[in-house]
Structure 1
Amino acid sequence: MWLLHESFLDLVQNNWNAPLYPDNSISSMKRLWLKLKCLKMVLNWWNHNVFKNLFTNILLAENKINSLEELYQSDSSEANLGILNEAKVDLAKLQVQEETYWIQKAAIKHLVDGDKNTKYFHGLVNRKRSKNIHKISCEDGSITENRDEIASLAINYFHKHLNKSLNPVSIDNTAYIPNIISQEDNSSLSRPPVLEEIKNTLFEMNTILWLGLVLSSSKKTWPIIFNDVFSAVTDFFNGAPIPKFFTATYIVLIPKNNDVNS
């Protein structure tokens, strides 16, 4: 939704290319994280002061069009018509943003809830649970429908299966282990990815929930940030430890009672 605003890309580019405080010499994963952190604060301000509330913007745009239409009816000049048409174009842009907003909301809800809250999913689960075993194959290949025999055969099967003795064979000479993967394949699997591989992977990802991936996966912002993304990914594949701020999670415990202050 933000990508549809005319000032978004300029904002990202200006802040992404700005020197990092307090140390502009950091690189790779740390540099990418710090740039995302700085950009997040700027976008938070921009969202509240420039982009503002989308639905309020649409309401104001509709009211403006209504006023301009009344003005044009009283004075059908070319100037008034031009202003009215420009206001309609602005409203159309806001409506596209609104459509994108609801698409994102629907995607997030599906990503969080999945199918677990749908009647269809519960119907499938209940249907599977309602199925009982009505017949079973015996060891001689015959089929029995006797419930006592079914129970006995099932118990015997799992009793034998779960009580099998395991006799591991130790390998004293590791040279006997077959070498399935060639050195060429191993080198190919271990090498850091090239820029085009990283780009294609990010563009194919579902990137609703994380700002960093949203920026990376956008064809509009990729020319701005690709150097830092490439450096961070290469740093990871070269064995650098992952900074904790990339994997940290905040957990909030909420008391299960009416008076949360007690």
Structure 2
Amino acid sequence: MTPKLEEIILREEIHWRQKAKVKWVKDGDCNSKLFHKVANGRRNRNFIKFLENERGLVLDNSESITEEILLYFKKLYSSPPGESWRVEGIDWSPISEESASRLDSPFYEEEIFNAIFQLDRDMASGPDGFTIAVFQDCWDVIKEDLVRVFAEFHNSGIINQNTNASFIVLLPKKSRSKKISDFRPINLITCLFKVIAEVLLGRLRGVLHETIHSTQGAFVQGRQILDAVLIANEIVDEKRRSGEKGVVFKIDFEKAYDHVKGDFLDLVLEKKGFSSKWRSWMRGCLSSVSYAILVNGNAKGWVKASRGLRQGDPLSPFLFTIVANVLSRMLLKAEERSLLEGFRVGRNRCRVSHLQFADDTILFANFSEEELQTLKSLLLVFGQVFGLKVNLDKSNFFCINLDQNHLSRLALMLDCKALDWPILYLGLPLGGNPIACGFWDPVIERISRRLDG
């Protein structure tokens, strides 16, 4: 076999491996037949044959489907007119001046190099068509240009629209998805922006622990998802054993990332001690974002965004964590003023009113109509100020040591459904008996599905 033919075969295998996005196949396995099947299966699952619009009409041709999708995203990423609100009187817990100064120090070559080689080389490409593999393999050729790009960004805080353009690919949340809300929008961003975001993220990781409260378990160094699950189980189990009445409220934010307002994110960063330069960088990352929608593989239209964080942008989960921390600080302030009691747990009877993991928030409240009304009001205020509205249709509450009459009254008060224990919290059971038959069935079923491919 000639070297030229070997190179062509290798390129074809890499092409199909990237399209298949199979993470569990060992590097070096030659299995292009598998990659073909997986890639074709993904394409068939993601293909939109028809779409139901808001009026209930079924659209079955590509032009009307595309028009409906573009209209939806223009509305989603446009900030509605309204008053400017501010939040005062809470403990912002700002980062130190030393940390703020370290965040906006000049970028250096080693920092850029480390960011590039930490990224997945086969990550899907954006509008530029490049994968991280290109930057990794051509580092010696492009490093001087990249250092210049970072120096310009450091001085101006501006990212041009081409660099900040992205494709939105629509992934079905369930089989037979028929409404646009049944699809999850994932952003495919340019290779250069991924590198910029990864460098900024490397700096941000080092200071989040200074300003994010311990009730938030996501994206902060030293905190693990398992900690949040174990703490939640301990809280619920102790409340049950005590015989005291209580309510657990699992809330769902409506389009959490998509509804974040840039001006309020900037306000939060200011209150938390981030410098004007760092805030200008964040504005640069958010203000020049534009989207083209991939409808069945074809890029359609360009949507200019005036709000929202992109799912697929490395920075987004960390910026959302900063915004979500404001809700935590509001709840803590309500505790301080004896407006919320929460649950008392442990030997020292520590008060716990909530736990957060990114946009996953669970609230603990005593059975008191006054306290529950306060909780509901706080959520409504948070939604008005930051645009993060609670989706009551998808939010649920769970009662501890309460009878059916209480459940019915609470359902009317909170405008959401009461469900039975156990529930799934961060992918693991909460509130059940771990030694009972069937307790781990949902987990076993998910693992089996993963093993079956």
Band the TM-score falls in, shorter-chain normalisation: 0.3 to 0.5
Q: TM-score, normalised by structure 1?
A: 0.33
| Higher strand content, 1 or 2 | 2
Which one has the largest radius of gyration?
Answer: 1
**Larger RCO (alpha carbons 8 Å, 6+ apart):** 1
| Higher helix content, 1 or 2 | 1
Q: TM-score, normalised by structure 2?
A: 0.21
